[in-house]
Structure 1
Amino acid sequence: MAEHDPVRDAARYRVRRDSPTGQEPSEQGEDAAPPGRMENRHLWVDVLVDQAVARGEFDNLALAGKPIPGITAHDPDWWLKALIEREQISGVLPEAIQLRKDDAVLADRLDALRTEQQVRDAVEEFNARVVSARRQLLGGPPVVTPLRDVEHEVHEWSARRLPPPGPPAPAAEPPRRRHGWRRRGRSG
């Protein structure tokens, strides 16, 4: 009993429609088995690719005839690096390197906090991560990230939160002396 698969039926319809003879490849006298079988799927894919080429779907591609950007012959992990950059994946670096990155943006992270206690907690959590990484339990590169002084960071955070000084207020002008003459409007 043949299975009735709507996806396969639709694909067969497209092959018959796009074929010059109006027949499936197995009906065209080729020795290929029915394309739906797993062991012959490469034949089905070849037919679909040939039809796409005939329709011109591969014409005028952006990188036609050019090397794929970002691939170097000496870097076998080019695809992994591209994935990390494209998807902005973080947290998969060795802790020493991740700490360097976090150290560089710590001031921005602290500026987003609202209270001194939150700033203290964030700096203490950062320092705990540095101490833990220095123990080198998991190995990896050496940790060169310095510990942060909590009170200094709180002071710096407070200074960044103050509004910038505005332009100096203009000095009060001395009162004008009246000279006894006035402008008179024309009456006439």
Structure 2
Amino acid sequence: MTERKPPGVSFESYVDKQIRDAEARGEFENLPGAGRPVPAVAETEYDELWWIKRKMAREGFAVLPPTLALRKEAEDTLAAAAAAPSERVVRHLVEELNVKIRDMMFKPPPGPPLGLKPYDVEEIVRRWRERRAG
């Protein structure tokens, strides 16, 4: 930590001087990622909120409205059901998904409409059996 800002010196000038002094001492040399673009900015077109979105994703916060997040969860669950090792697991996955869909149907959150109805568990189990047999 450096000394306190002297009275009468603007904060910006004081910070600029500290940065210049640290640069002169070589404290910014050999930093990880030096000379390379920030990955999120280099990978996509510029979005000024990229770092917020990355932080939210890292922390597990949904960026999507609840209905769209449930649609995505439904896709993922159906894919997981197709690859499930047993009929019991398929039933469990689809029944849990149906509970969430019914909750959202009867207590709609703000955002776009869900556009889903509960899935027919027996139909999904039938398709799972066909894929396993053939």
Q: What TM-score do you get using the length of structure 1 for normalisation?
A: 0.49
- Tell me how many residue pairs correspond in the alignment: 121
The answer to whether the 8 Å contact 2:67/2:112 transfers is yes
1:80 partnered with 2:52: yes
1:95 partnered with 2:95: no
User: Cα offset for 1:129?
Assistant: 1.0
Shift in alpha-carbon separation, 1:94–1:105, aligned structure 2, 3 A: same
User: Cα offset for 1:120?
Assistant: 1.2
Cα shift readout 1:61-89 (whole Å, capped 9, x = no counterpart): 2249xxx55434xx6x443223345x283
The answer to whether the 8 Å contact 1:110/1:119 transfers is yes
Cα shift readout 1:18-39 (whole Å, capped 9, x = no counterpart): xxxxxxxxxxxxxxxxx1x4xx
RMSD, matched Cα: 3.5
The answer to whether the 8 Å contact 1:110/1:157 transfers is yes
The answer to whether the 8 Å contact 1:96/1:142 transfers is yes
Q: Give me the whole-angstrom Cα distance separating, in 1, the residues matched to 2:29 and 2:46.
A: 22
1:50 partnered with 2:20: yes
User: Cα offset for 1:52?
Assistant: 3.6
Alignment partner of 2:112: what SS? coil
1:158 partnered with 2:133: no
The answer to whether the 8 Å contact 2:67/2:109 transfers is no
User: Cα offset for 1:116?
Assistant: 1.6
Mapping for residues 13-52 of structure 1, pairs under 5 Å: 35=3, 37=4, 40=5, 45-52=15-22
Normalized per residue, the structure richer in helix is: 2
- Residue 139 (structure 1) aligns with: 110
Unpaired segments ≥5 residues, structure 1: 1-7, 12-34, 165-188
- Residue 21 (structure 1) aligns with: none
1:128 partnered with 2:103: no
Structure number, greater radius of gyration: 1
In percent, how many aligned pairs have the same letter?
Answer: 26
